């Protein structure tokens, strides 16, 4: 009888140990699950908070809530605006040597040496000297900028026109160019975070020259 009692006692002890191990295992699993869920919830809360921007209206009395867009969602538009900004800096020129130099310095922040090389080519050909001597204003009219964002470097094609405004006439030139864009660090001088590479003008031929009196606005 003692043997049977001892056997049952040992079995009870063994069952108790197994039950304890099971309870401990369940507690560990539940704790791990709770920790994991808490971390996921914290991550979601942080991500949602990043999408919110609090702004103050001009009166300073009301705080308004706005939602920030995903940075990558707007990259195609930023790429096009980067190229358009460069075109305006490079091709919108007044007959002022200091203004031309300042524009070129700003344009150089947006691309590689292909930009400065094109500037030096134009300068060696006397283009800017003619602008200054002829009191000519140069303007760019951007018709289209197309950027293929499917693969980096991003290939870009440019279709535009150049206006050369003189005292008595206006000359329109065709501007066709291409380049590549790569991602770069955002800075004050390069807010879109792109860099233009291998900028190349493929067509800069004259379209027409008209009398100033015949011109009635951008075409």
Provide, rounded to the nearest whole percent, the portion of the chain with pLDDT above 70: 74
- How does residue 15 score in pLDDT terms, banded at 50, 70 and 90? low
Is residue 107 over pLDDT 60? yes
Strand, helix or coil for residue 218:
coil
Q: What is the model's pLDDT at position 63?
A: 46
What mean pLDDT comes out for the span 121-143? 96
* Predicted pLDDT at 152: 93
Is the pLDDT at 149 greater than 60? The verdict is yes
Q: What are phi and psi of 25, to 5 degrees?
A: -60, -45
Collect all residues with Cβ–Cβ distance below 8 Å to 61 and sequence separation of at least 6: none
Is the pLDDT reported for residue 172 higher than 70? yes
Mean pLDDT of the 131-160 span: 97
Q: What would the pLDDT profile of 64-94 be if each residue is shown by its tens digit?
A: 444 445 556 799 999 999 999 999 999 999 9
Separation CA 92–CA 163 (nearest Å) = 9
**Predicted pLDDT at 181:** 98
d(CA 179, CA 118): 12
Q: Please, which pLDDT band fits residue 22 given cuts at 50, 70 and 90?
A: confident
Pair 155, 180: CB distance under 8 Å: yes
Q: Are 197 and 153 in contact (CB under 8 A)?
A: yes
Mean confidence (pLDDT) of the chain: 84
Report the alpha-carbon distance of residue 207 to residue 175 in Å, rounded: 10
Q: What is the pLDDT of residue 33?
A: 77
Average pLDDT of 170-178? 97
pLDDT value, residue 29: 84
- Per-residue model confidence as pLDDT tens digits over 29-44: 877 777 877 776 766 6
> What share of the chain has pLDDT > 90, as a percent?
63
């Amino acid at each position: 009888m003692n043997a049977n009692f001892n056997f049952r006692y040992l079995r009870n002890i063994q069952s108790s140990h197994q039950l304890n191990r099971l309870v401990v295992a369940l507690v560990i699993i539940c704790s791990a699950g709770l920790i994991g869920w808490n971390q996921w919830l914290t991550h979601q809360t942080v991500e949602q908070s990043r999408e919110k921007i609090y702004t103050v209206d001009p009166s300073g009395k009301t705080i308004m809530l706005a939602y920030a867009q995903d940075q990558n969602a707007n990259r195609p538009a930023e790429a096009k605006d980067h190229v358009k900004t460069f075109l305006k800096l490079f091709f919108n020129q007044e007959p002022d040597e200091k203004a031309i130099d300042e524009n070129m310095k700003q344009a150089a922040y947006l691309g590689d040496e292909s930009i400065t090389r094109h500037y030096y080519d134009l300068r060696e050909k006397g283009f800017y000297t003619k602008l200054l001597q002829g009191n000519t204003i140069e303007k760019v009219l951007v018709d289209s900028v197309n950027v293929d964002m499917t693969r980096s470097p991003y290939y870009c094609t440019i279709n535009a026109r150049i206006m050369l405004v003189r005292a008595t006439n206006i000359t329109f030139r065709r501007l066709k160019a291409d380049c590549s864009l790569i991602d770069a660090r955002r800075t004050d001088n390069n807010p879109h975070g792109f860099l233009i590479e291998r900028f190349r003008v493929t067509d800069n031929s004259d379209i027409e020259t008209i009398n100033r009196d015949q011109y009635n606005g951008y075409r």
